[in-house]
Structure 1
Amino acid sequence: MVLTACGGGEETTAPDTPTDEPTAPEETGTDADDGQDTTELTDVSFSAVPSMTSIGLHVANDLGYFEEEGIRAEIVDFDSGAASEQAMLTGEVDYGAGGVVSTLLMEAAGEDVTNLVLFQSKPIFSFVVRSDLAGEIAGLEDLEGRTVGISSPGSLTDFFARLSLHEVGLDPDSDVDLVATGGTSGHVAALQAEQVDVQLTWEPGTTQITEVTGVGEMLVDLRTDEAPGVVGELIGSSLQALNSTIEEDPELAEAIVRAVVKADNAIAEDPSVLADALETHLFSDLPREQIERIAEIESASFRPSITEDEIQAWVDAYMELGFLEEPIEPSAVLDDRFADLWQ
């Protein structure tokens, strides 16, 4: 079984790569004769999928942390994790935000990619059950003979659905029917049409389903300690780069890590920081009250540190379900030279 690497938007088939090259911002810095700051900023581009996976980049930018480190950041959005990662691999952008697990899959494909600093320590997904079935389905162990919605075969939702079912003693291939429902708007539609009994979704899908439409209720929230077994040990998203990019300018890489650490810590200390970024960049159509509830849940998992044991947990889980053919050494995808900055 082959799993497509995904950063956060859960699309597994990359769309055509955008043909328009990102336009570099104009140089800042002013004439010394004007008595103003003449410090030149270094342009750095980041690939991202508009989702919780990359919101830490926006926080670092919005709060001026990148600029404090001498960086002018350009965050380039892509429609899928695969397209975002491809942009980083081809040099279209310098760094990328994506799922830690994606680096394992890229490493397995022969790409020399590493994780520099963590964004979130938990998955972004939640199982929601159709409201009319909430009385019959109280937990994942009740899903035998049921239909479960995932975004698409080979996606991260496919993996998390399979692993979660495996952890409660169910065979995802024979005990349930996994149904592809696309992105979050498709999740709402699939539940409304009774195409699925349970849907594995992510924000804003979780809130749209459980609060806006009321078509579903929370069953198991993988963002919390409700996650079954080893699922709760799997870390989420990170800042990533080709090793060659880091080696070209290690001091720049260190400055980027410092900015991200500041963003992680700011979010963890004050969920309103995350709420502000979500309102500006992702969920402008949601009421502020709902955005704040999302931020309260998601902010608890933001931290910068990554350990080899945490990456090993991903390797073990992927090997268990056949998503990796050969084991990968965690050190192959973890650059810990900046570990002192994670504290």
Structure 2
Amino acid sequence: MQFIPSGRMACALAATLIFASSGTLAQTLEKPKVSIAVGGKNLFYYLPLTVAEQLGYFKDEGLQVEISDFAGGSKALQALVGGSADVVSGAFEHTIDMQVKGQNITAFVLQGRAPQIVLGVSTKNLPNYKSLQDLKGKKIGVTAPGSSTNMLASFVLAKAGIKPGDVSYIGVGTSAGALSAVRSGQIDAIANLDPAITMLQQKNDIKVIVDTRTMKDTLDVFGGPMPAATLYASGAFIKKNPNTTQALTNAMVKALKWIQTAGPDDIVKVVPESYMLGDRALYTAAFLKVKEAYSPDGKIPDEGAQTALKALQAYDPKIAGKTIDLTRTYTNDFVRKANDKQR
């Protein structure tokens, strides 16, 4: 006698078979559709996010990820706070800043162990630049006000005794807008990232005065390791969606490990053509400059969180003197599991 399962039972059996054959947590994800906000997706700063997307690592984890691109990290953070994004691919220091504002934001996987941000002065507007004091009263272009590029510029200037109010910060974005702002003379200096910075250097449009594209330079500037891009979300989201958070982390760690062995030719085959701003050779050269900045395993170092806090306290009176619980700003629990899975 042939057994024919009922409709409900057949669906259950099908789901079980799919789960068994896939070997993923796709059937147990609390939120398989996830929206991620990012400020400047074309930047090398966020390359691991693009790799995970383009190589299908999110899909491998059963996720449907929608990535929304904004002019800068502060804008991506606003999307999270406003409820239009579940997760942000953004700078670690935002988790500290938001705690001061009474919001629990937690980073759960590290993309970059060096900020990759460069501060340069316009050779057109400031041909006789000698020191940071020359920037007083000047216009500094950043990806967006309140972003990590803004943070670096403010930190560097603060060490020279220059307050944030002594300069004007102007949002110029991350690609063509940034290049145009420098070349047209709209700004006197710029804090931005590759590939735009390397393009400006190549044409002698800027003189680099601060560089954090390597581990050594980062240590020189900040005095310790400085965590850069992360994936972060509200503590409530992570608590409610642990399997989804784990799946996101698995995909990102896989992307990070892929980058460790990738060459320039591998990168240009993965990223969209528009990221290269019309110059593939320069793009590959820029990648080699920043490759060591990527985290090999996604772990956020305890010392790095301390460095980020000290940097913010150095120039932001809203954070200086405040008691910050750094254990609430990040977790490595998901990264540990993701690395175990990759072995």
TM-score by length of 2: 0.75
Q: Deviation digits for residues 66-114 of structure 1, max 9, x if unmatched?
A: 1221222221223443332233234423222111011111222122210
The residue matched to 1:44 in structure 2 has which SS? strand
1:68 equivalent to 2:60? Answer: yes
Pairing 1:222-241 to 2, within 5 Å after superposition: 222-224=212-214, 225-227=216-218, 228-230=220-222, 233-241=225-233
User: For residues 121-132 of structure 1, what are the structure 2 equivalents within 5 Å?
Assistant: 121-131=113-123
Instruction: Report the Cα offset of residue 306 of structure 1.
Output: 0.2
8 A Cα contact 1:149 1:178, kept in partner = yes
Tell me the equivalent position of 2:324: 328
SS of match in other structure, 1:210: helix
Where does the alignment leave 5 or more consecutive residues of structure 1 unmatched? 1-31
Q: 1:245 aligns with which of 237, 248, 253?
A: 237
Q: Which has the larger radius of gyration?
A: 2
**Structure 1 residue aligned with 2:172, among 183, 199, 222?**
183
Distance 2:183 2:157 in 1: 23
CA shift for structure 1 position 284:
4.3
The 1-side partners of 2:75 and 2:127 are apart by 40
Say yes or no: does 1:86 pair with 2:81: no
Q: Which amino acid aligns with 2:84?
A: E
Alignment partner, residue 7 of structure 1: none
How far 1:266 moved relative to its partner? Answer: 1.2
Identity %: 22
Structure 1 residue 306 corresponds to structure 2 residue 295: no
- Greater mean alpha carbon deviation, residues 72-81 or residues 290-299: 72-81
**How many Å separate the matches in 1 of 2:262 and 2:269?**
11
2:201 is aligned with 1:206: no
Moved more, 301-310 or 43-52: 43-52
Offset at 1:285?
A: 2.9
Do the aligned residues in 2 keep the contact of 1:121 with 1:301 (CA within 8 Å)? yes
Contact 1:57–1:75 (CA under 8 A) maintained in structure 2: no
- Report SS of the residue matched to 1:240: strand
Q: How many residues align?
A: 302
- C-alpha distance in structure 2 between counterparts of 1:312 and 1:198, whole Å: 28
Match of 1:21 in 2: none
Give the aligned partner of residue 263 of structure 1. 255
CA shift, 1:196, in A, is 5.6
TM-score by length of 1: 0.75
Write out per-residue CA displacement over residues 199-225 of structure 1, whole angstroms, 9 at most, x where no aligned residue: 3232343133222x4322433322123
- Other-structure match for 2:132: 143
Aligned 8 A contact 2:158 2:314 in 1: no
Q: Deviations over 1:280-317 (max 9, x none)?
A: 4x524321101111222222211111022211111122
